[in-house]
Amino acid sequence: MRITSLGARVVNAGRRNWIFVRVETDQPGLIGWGEASLEVKTRGVLGAIEDFAPLVVGEDPRRIEHLWQALYRQQFFRGGPVEMSAVSGIDQALWDIKGKDLGVPVWQLLGGYVRDKVRFYDHLGGGAPEATYGQMEPALVADLARRTVEDGFDALKVLAVPRSRPLDSEARVRAAAETMAAIRDAVGPGVDVMVDLHGRTTAAMAIRYGQAMAEYSPWFFEEPVPPEDVDGHAAVAEALPGIPIATGERLISRWAFRPFFERGAIAVAQPDVCHTGGISEVRRIAAMAEAHGISVAPHNPLGPIATMANLHLAVATPNHLIQEVMRADVPWRDEIVTGVPPIVDGHMTPPGAPGLGIDIDEVAAEAHPYQPEPQYRWFHEDGSVAEW
């Protein structure tokens, strides 16, 4: 079997574009699909996929590890989110082909399922441009949380912390605590509530926010400082011993995760299957995390193929904790990608179809062509640049 073409289909989904990677083989009808979506970098990823084509066309798609190594190592300048998103989408498509060729779901190729169902949590958002300093009103957040629980989820995440200066006012800290208080009042103590700081704060400010929110029992504190700041993560973890620290959505490959594991800086790793190197690399990161007593809760605000890739990983990964899903994108996602199991009472069950278990309606996808993503610009009151 040989790969005959490598390409991509772009589907606009409002605030972002989905990049669906398409790998075609010389076996009639055997096509693999993956997802390489990267916010605001769509054209860059498409260019990287095109650049990679000579390395994969003509090769055996079943040699997944061999091709991963070639894509990663046979580049003098390698790594980074654009290139690794392209690698991620290709890798997922290769797993899809291998599962289809053998007639088994991808989770079976990963060693079989270790759990009967996968727990999901809903992300309430909070970074919308209309929000004040990136923070929604407590009443609105509480209403969203209430609806999430009514839909069957027992876990949710909120971007409760505003864009903050290196040392910010007590008013900002109180506003974040009020948001958490409103959520707790709305859903009670039986729902796990995660707090996403989005790397907006210094370690000093993250600690102040954490201390103010501690009474509301955040399940974990995500990205309390920018992703490159290993020492900052460790400082926050040390200062907030009762609040687990999570990070990883912007860490690219196992080598970026290693210092966080070695320092004991995080309790939860959050690799993104669309950015960090696909199914193959998330498996390796999860194994490294397991050796350090760390759980994995993969990042996933993207499209339905990404959700399916994460589902297969979750089914077969012993230290998988919980899976993120972003439901508030577009109402027609099921018209383009079919085969994604429904979320019932906050859980999905292992899919049984071969490969990733999805089908793509390419005609329906063409009805939603590429559109430039919104480029938001964030500044503090004094005009200085703020974190997204």
Q: What are the residue numbers of the active site?
A: 198, 299
**Distance between CA atoms of 339 and 105, rounded to whole angstroms?**
12
At CA 353, angle to CA 351 and CA 359, rounded to 5? 100
Instruction: Please give the structure tokens belonging to residue 176.
Output: 């974040």
- Inter-residue contact 160 to 180 (CB < 8 Å): yes
**Distance between CA atoms of 306 and 140, rounded to whole angstroms?**
28
**Distance between CA atoms of 201 and 212, rounded to whole angstroms?**
14
- Inter-residue contact 246 to 221 (CB < 8 Å): yes
Q: Rounded to a whole number, what is the distance in angstroms from the first to the last CA of the chain?
A: 45
**Distance between CA atoms of 208 and 322, rounded to whole angstroms?**
27
Measured over the CA atoms of residue 105, residue 106, residue 107 and residue 110, the dihedral's sign is positive
Spell out the residues 6+ positions from residue 131 whose beta carbon is closer than 8 angstroms to its own: none
C-alpha distances in Å from residue 233, one per residue of 61, 110, 207, 214, 240: 39, 31, 10, 17, 11
**Distance between CA atoms of 262 and 246, rounded to whole angstroms?**
14
**Distance between CA atoms of 104 and 190, rounded to whole angstroms?**
37
Beta bridge partners of 251: none
Residue 147, classed as helix, strand or coil, is: helix
- Inter-residue contact 242 to 270 (CB < 8 Å): no
